[in-house]
Structure 1
Amino acid sequence: MQEDDQQALTATVIRELAIDPFTLWMHYLSIGGKLEYQPVLAYVQGRGPLPVKERDMVSVAVNDFALEPLWRPRAPYSDSETA
């Protein structure tokens, strides 16, 4: 998946689930994310890129918030297909 698409779709899921960026960042760190808050905030706001591994870690963190109910949208990974 192209970086811009992943970023936009992830931001959409964050908005739909009303995930607080700081809470997301704290969870991202707890599951192995390596970046400071500002680069992650810029990424989720569509204002900056992240390395592939860190983008996917953000997606994992977002998807952890979307586990229940199962119909909720999921953030894509860098190797996801676009529809």
Structure 2
Amino acid sequence: MDEVDQQALIGAVILEHGLDLDRLWLAHLALGGDASEQAIRDYSAGLAGLSVTDRDALAQAVNEHCAEAGLPARTPLSGSPLVQAHTGPRGPGPSM
């Protein structure tokens, strides 16, 4: 997963559903992340980046909160096959 795309998707889901950043930060820590609360706030606003570990921990925290609330939106992890298919080897068809 491209870091910029992942950041945009995570931020969009947080904003769309009004998820509580304090709760997401705590859940992110429980899932192995170690970014500060301010770093999570900055990342979700598109103002700063995070390590792969922190991005994935935050994405998982967002996904768990969405699942608990019955919300359909989910955020991809850095190793998302959907995005890897986009950036990976091409299937049959014309080559560029």
Tell me which interval the TM-score lies in, with the shorter structure as reference length. 0.7 to 0.9
1:27 CA displacement: 1.7
1:23 CA displacement: 1.8
AA in 2 matched with 1:57: A
2:55 aligned with 1:55:
yes
Specify the SS of the correspondent of 2:67: coil
1:30 CA displacement: 2.4
AA in 2 matched with 1:66: C
TM-score, reference length from structure 1: 0.87
In the alignment, what sits opposite 2:77?
77
For 1:18 and 1:39, locate their aligned partners in 2 and report how far apart those are by CA, in whole Å. 18
Q: How big is the alpha-carbon RMSD for the aligned residues of Structure 1 and Structure 2?
A: 1.6
AA in 1 matched with 2:29: L
Aligned length: 82
1:57 CA displacement: 0.4
Asked if the contact 2:31/2:61 (under 8 Å) is kept, the reply is: yes
1:39 CA displacement: 1.2
Q: What stretches of structure 1 move > 2 A for 4+ residues in a row?
A: none
Higher relative contact order (CA 8 A, sep 6+): 1
Alignment of 1:2-81 (within 5 A): 2-68=2-68, 69=70, 72-80=72-80, 81=82
For 2:3 and 2:30, locate their aligned partners in 1 and report how far apart those are by CA, in whole Å. 23
TM-score, reference length from structure 2: 0.76
Q: Which runs of 5+ in 1 are unaligned?
A: none
1:74 CA displacement: 0.3
Q: Which runs of 5+ in 2 are unaligned?
A: 87-96
For 1:17 and 1:64, locate their aligned partners in 2 and report how far apart those are by CA, in whole Å. 13
